[in-house]
Structure 1
């Protein structure tokens, strides 16, 4: 897989599509990638529940909700007021299990989780992932994740061409970490979409050409972890919000300059395989605005796949690589899109190991484990009218127009 186009893939205004009839390329997409290998306690307490539900108010008169710093005094006060423990055995970050891995150097650590999947990624003409962590060695670590910058080189080594950086963990190392991430990816020759120095910068598409087919990537997030201040504005760095008006504008701006438009959505409820009707309606609206596919992530579990007018909606691929695991996480999927001059012709659904320690080094599932997962995705996809057939250790969706 050549990287020349990826390194030089900044949008050239006015360029016309150059798709060749009969030419076909593959786009492999995987889910969430995080390799900070640790979990951290929250820095603030919000919406502490009362015995009867609701939130804890500063006073008893319905004034306003106030944040509490995660200090010993705040914790003691809230626990006494609520007669509960804020940091219990059920706390999400305390329930994570770690892998006990040790490495001789930073490059070995960075490449380790990609070693069993690199061949799969390199075989694709374009490989995409959601990068759920900042890459920085110096920025203040104020959120859950921060991954050493060497991981950017590991992504390139494994064959990943483009990552979405629009997600709820994009500013876990604050604005400096966001800018470090962009810089390290650029130096490694890995494209990114969904974050930037300001809203205009963050909305820029990343364009890759393979086999005469020009593909544009745009990325958006429904959530950020600080209540909204990590979203990009005209004067602030950050993440592009999942704003349908922005999405429509972005599609319209790039549509006539490329052959294929990919939307990356960080959305949905974590650890749920269900698709809300409102999510479906939203997806239909933006596809009808001119995009060709939606690649979803954030729930940490896989969901069904819908095809609308020949355009796939992958509601969630689940995880791919994570620096820790949970016993309630499950196996995941990757999708391989076959793209021709008329759009997607076929979707391969590939089962990816995600249970136990598998997220530390994922691989393709085979046999009974593969079939169990694929049958679940087939059932969930059928609810959307999508026919998925199982061939050996993969699912196949033929696109009929």
Structure 2
């Protein structure tokens, strides 16, 4: 087919999926499958590792979060649902080391789902993955921000193999503070003998090259990778985030390549970094990357990582979805929890044989009710001749009301002390759906994007 063909793309959010689900047959569930199957290509983000726990071991020991692992056959249920392609680069990609990364890639391949964002080295992780459809060829580039250095994929050199890992988009952070506050911080750093300025940099030293109006706390725990805690004198308090120049260009190069070799290009960006508490607006570096991605040939840009829905921007006639939210939320039902997780969450590890995966707490984001964790939308995007012709949002809920109380409507287990949510998506009823869509409407309006909703779906009003 020529690249001028019409395209229909179905988009869903973060899949923290731990259980098989193809046996379910509710109309509200099968409606999601219908949306995926009628699209030319269906995308979702994989926030999970697939593998046999007997063959894997946890890849880190200081992570304040969940270790995401499910049996490989769960990947086949994602394919049953209609998912064609998934981004795999995120802050959980190395939960079970390189072996877990490879087993996840293989499970997706065995299930017939294309994946992008992780690989045996940087070139492998950064390269687009392609999906062949009757409509044409679709490409996906997947990257992530906020991972630790050992999780970044690396290139081979001479007799050295490349490092398996994620396709990184590193971030440069600068803390802007007023002059008087800067003087106090400098004095404190000098007193502790941890002050670093631009005068201290020499060839061969790690860390940023500081400007004359910048200084850094060279903290003991980070002296071998001195790139954090950089302050700049300014007029007010501000946190500035910028894309790492090398990673930005590497990802843009992959996007340009995909634009030459496919008919539809999609870019997925996972980020768990915020400029302070996670609010309702993406960080500056995310908007920077999204705009550059569109400029270099991306047709659709999706963001995820905060586990909440964010606004929609139309940039140069192309859609940017800054936050897809959760599509499956089943981290409470992880069956394999390593030692490190129990220790991190304050459990008595000397009593480890008595601890079971239902212990509370064990997982972030689930301690208090939240109206944004348990809902999102399946999004239909339509393009004609490379031009956006429509967006429709179908709200979904994952087993709780879409409210501040987030009352459980579909639970698993009989415990009353710490009840567990099923976490599987169903098309939301009109009451809950209206809440999901109103949030999208309000946040999208900040970018000049007009969504019209009837309480059941929301549609983009074209021409604004």
TM-score (norm 2): 0.63
> Between Structure 1 and Structure 2, how many residues are aligned?
310
Mapped pair 1:19 → 2:5: no
Mapped pair 1:343 → 2:387: yes
CA displacement, residues 366-388 of structure 1 (integer Å, 9 cap, x when unaligned): 31221122112111101001111
Matched-pair contact (CA < 8 Å) for 2:13–2:304: yes
Q: Which residue of 2 aligns with 1:155?
A: 78
CA displacement, residues 242-288 of structure 1 (integer Å, 9 cap, x when unaligned): 22111111112221222221000002548532223443233212221
Matched-pair contact (CA < 8 Å) for 1:272–1:301: no
SS in 1 for 2:49: coil
Aligned CA distance change for structure 1 residues 386 and 118 (closer, same or farther; 3 Å): same
- Report the structure number with the largest CA radius of gyration: 2
Matched-pair contact (CA < 8 Å) for 2:312–2:443: yes
Q: 1:112: how far off?
A: 5.8
Q: Which residue of 1 aligns with 2:50?
A: 135
Q: Which residue of 1 aligns with 2:38?
A: 123
Aligned CA distance change for structure 1 residues 211 and 175 (closer, same or farther; 3 Å): same
Which of 10, 26, 32 does residue 28 from structure 1 map onto? 10
Q: Which residue of 1 aligns with 2:197?
A: none
Q: 1:114: how far off?
A: 9.5
SS in 2 for 1:111: coil
Partners of 1:337 and 1:359 in 2: how far apart?
28
Partners of 2:288 and 2:119 in 1: how far apart?
28
CA displacement, residues 142-200 of structure 1 (integer Å, 9 cap, x when unaligned): 46111111112111111110111011101111101111111111111110000111111
SS in 2 for 1:291: coil
CA displacement, residues 105-124 of structure 1 (integer Å, 9 cap, x when unaligned): xxxx3536897233332232
Which of 424, 431, 434 does residue 368 from structure 1 map onto? 431
Q: Which residue of 1 aligns with 2:233?
A: none
Mapped pair 1:111 → 2:111: no
CA displacement, residues 8-55 of structure 1 (integer Å, 9 cap, x when unaligned): xxxxxxxxxx4364x423111111111247xxxxxxxxxxxxxxxxxx
Question: Could you say what the CA RMSD is over the residues aligned between the two structures, in angstroms?
Answer: 2.3
Matched-pair contact (CA < 8 Å) for 1:33–1:322: yes
After TM superposition, list the pairs within 5 Å mapping 1:231-242 onto structure 2: 231-234=152-155, 235-242=162-169
Where does the alignment leave 5 or more consecutive residues of structure 2 unmatched? 61-66, 156-161, 170-246, 333-365, 401-407, 411-420
Matched-pair contact (CA < 8 Å) for 1:320–1:359: no
Matched-pair contact (CA < 8 Å) for 1:324–1:359: no
Partners of 1:114 and 1:208 in 2: how far apart?
28
Matched-pair contact (CA < 8 Å) for 1:378–1:389: yes
Moved more, 121-130 or 258-267: 121-130
After TM superposition, list the pairs within 5 Å mapping 1:252-331 onto structure 2: 252-267=256-271, 268-269=273-274, 272-324=279-331, 326=366, 327-328=369-370, 329-331=373-375
Partners of 2:308 and 2:137 in 1: how far apart?
30
Partners of 2:462 and 2:132 in 1: how far apart?
22
SS in 2 for 1:360: coil
SS in 1 for 2:71: coil
Moved more, 326-335 or 149-158: 326-335
List structure 1 runs of 4+ shifted beyond 6 angstroms. none
SS in 2 for 1:207: strand
Q: 1:399: how far off?
A: 4.7
Moved more, 162-171 or 349-358: 349-358
Partners of 1:19 and 1:304 in 2: how far apart?
32
Partners of 2:151 and 2:294 in 1: how far apart?
26
Where does the alignment leave 5 or more consecutive residues of structure 1 unmatched? 1-17, 38-108
Q: Which residue of 2 aligns with 1:80?
A: none
Q: 1:393: how far off?
A: 0.9
Aligned CA distance change for structure 1 residues 113 and 132 (closer, same or farther; 3 Å): farther
SS in 2 for 1:256: helix
Aligned CA distance change for structure 1 residues 179 and 278 (closer, same or farther; 3 Å): closer
SS in 2 for 1:202: helix
Partners of 2:103 and 2:422 in 1: how far apart?
25
Matched-pair contact (CA < 8 Å) for 2:132–2:138: yes
